[in-house]
Structure 1
Amino acid sequence: MAMANQNGNGMRIGRLGKMPPKVDDRTLNLADYLTPALPPAPPMKTWTEKVQDWTMLGNDRYGDCVIAASLHMEQNWTAYEGPQEMEPTEQQALNVYSTITGFNPNDPSTDRGTNMLDALNYWRKTGIGNGTILAYAASEPGNVEHIKDIVELFGAAYVGLQLPVSAQKQKVWAVPPGGPVGSGQPSSWGGHCVPMIGYTPTQVMCVTWGQLKSMTWGFFETYCDEAYAVLSSQWADGNRPDPDGFSLDDLKQDLNAVVSH
């Protein structure tokens, strides 16, 4: 994990802190809810325009990126759905990080990062920030079309990356010319969690270390090791009908069936 600083491109670099994916056979699969009747996602989508002040949320000093990503998603959802934008605080992030993992800011040995699935379960049962989620489903790692559908339908994708060292100096994260070897080797830097909140035909945008960051689709395909669609209470309460070919109600009902056993 690297302390926050700026690289040669002016990009702030904070700490990493995503643990390896946790396997749970009960986790719902997004593919089960994407039918042939679902219209293709638009070629471009952005939910990046309303939040003006993304903050580090302690991720410059601690490995709480999984929690920071959750809070940034809550911030963006409320910015679009109202009644007013939730402005998360560092203390909120550290409190959740401590509750889920046992982190103690006075004991560096406890700063070991977070598993995304543990955070999702806590988010659903207890809430993170001022919000709770109703359901979540796992995307196929590195699946571009899944991420487009998630951003379009859910307002954000909750994504885990195994970052290469080569990303430390890149203005736009991209697979290096020599491919994913050497400094481009997956996880040669470490695991990181980000919310993806917009995309174009060539790039996808995320929030990390208090600012927006772009990566190529090739980078996403190469370094993504887990991704989730997350249905927030805020988003589901909006006047947003289910599209043909996708049922949010089925997703919620299936999750309730899983957690009741």
Structure 2
Amino acid sequence: MKRNTASVVRQFKKALPQFPAGLNQYHSYVKPTAKLPKAPPSLDTYTKIKRWPLDGNAYYGDCTMAAAAHAIHLWNVITHESNPVPLTSEVVREYRKFAKTPQAGLIEANVLKTWHRGGLWGHRILGYTPINVHNIAMIKQAAYLYGLVYVGVQLTKSAEKQYKQRKPWALVRDWKTEIPLGGHAIPIVGYDRDCFYGFIRLSCGSLKSDKGQARHNGNIRRS
């Protein structure tokens, strides 16, 4: 019998993906008379940071917290500020406060809520809002205006196989029929005409836009 996503997620002790509750889409918060700047053809501010720490993600399922720490680091570069960037030990400690097991992972919507209401590592974000993942122009605009887009992806068996073979992630035939094994948080920090770029471990991989939907283009590595 074919297993559904929920049963597979329960087997691997992962949480089901969730969208932030009680929030409207990004465009709903823009005044009708407001004219936001259009996103430039490319965004590569992230290249100013030459090395990113794993923040414990090689041993813990703390990608949601690592992504938040990377965001603070990148915002410092963009704004020329010096907000304290949490150390790896601090990232792991914050993750273990909320995670039931070392590999359980966390729900991104809950991490964002905590980051907004109570703060993480003494740092608070002023707000956040969901974005239509099929609207490529909107994702680019958000990355340009706010520095990054905090996203999650669902990983499949083929992605696990490619990783074990030390191959880049790439879509396989009939990928839409694959059952997700778990999720991963990836901050989208840049883009060009063909790809979105996100930090995964210490390398920068890419997500290719195709007819309004984001997909892997074969250059992305997981953490």
TM value normalised by structure 1? 0.66
Task: Give the equivalent residue in structure 1 for 2:38.
Answer: 40
Describe how 1:102-251 pairs up with structure 2 within 5 A. Answer: 103=100, 109=101, 111-168=103-160, 169=162, 173-176=169-172, 178-181=173-176, 185=178, 187=180, 189-218=181-210, 221=213
Letter in 1 for 2:98: I
Distance 1:100 1:49, change over 3 A: same
Residues 209-233 of structure 1: per-residue CA shift (max 9 Å, x gap)? 2332212124993569xxxxxxxxx
SS at match of 2:18: coil
Cα deviation, residue 186, structure 1: 5.5
Task: Give the equivalent residue in structure 2 for 1:80.
Answer: 78
Letter in 1 for 2:128: Y
TM value normalised by structure 2? 0.76
Distance 1:194 1:153 in 2: 18
Cα deviation, residue 193, structure 1: 0.5
Distance 1:98 1:56 in 2: 16
Cα deviation, residue 205, structure 1: 0.6
SS at match of 2:48: coil
Contact 2:208 2:215 in 1 (8 A): no
Cα deviation, residue 70, structure 1: 0.7
Distance 1:51 1:61 in 2: 23
Distance 2:205 2:121 in 1: 23
Distance 1:147 1:172 in 2: 23
Residues 152-203 of structure 1: per-residue CA shift (max 9 Å, x gap)? 1100000011123333437654433x24246xx262x421111110001111
SS at match of 1:204: strand
Percent identical among aligned pairs is 26
Task: Give the equivalent residue in structure 2 for 1:246.
Answer: none
Task: Give the equivalent residue in structure 2 for 1:67.
Answer: 65
Distance 1:77 1:49, change over 3 A: same
Distance 1:220 1:63, change over 3 A: farther
Residues 131-172 of structure 1: per-residue CA shift (max 9 Å, x gap)? 210000011133312210111110000001112333343765
Task: Give the equivalent residue in structure 2 for 1:99.
Answer: 97
Higher relative contact order (CA 8 A, sep 6+): 1
Q: Which 5+ residue runs of structure 1 have no aligned equivalent?
A: 1-15, 104-108, 225-261
Task: Give the equivalent residue in structure 1 for 2:27.
Answer: 31
Distance 1:194 1:24 in 2: 17
Distance 2:13 2:64 in 1: 7
Task: Give the equivalent residue in structure 2 for 1:21.
Answer: 17
CA RMSD of aligned residues (A): 3.0
Distance 1:18 1:71 in 2: 22
Q: Which 5+ residue runs of structure 2 have no aligned equivalent?
A: 1-11, 217-223
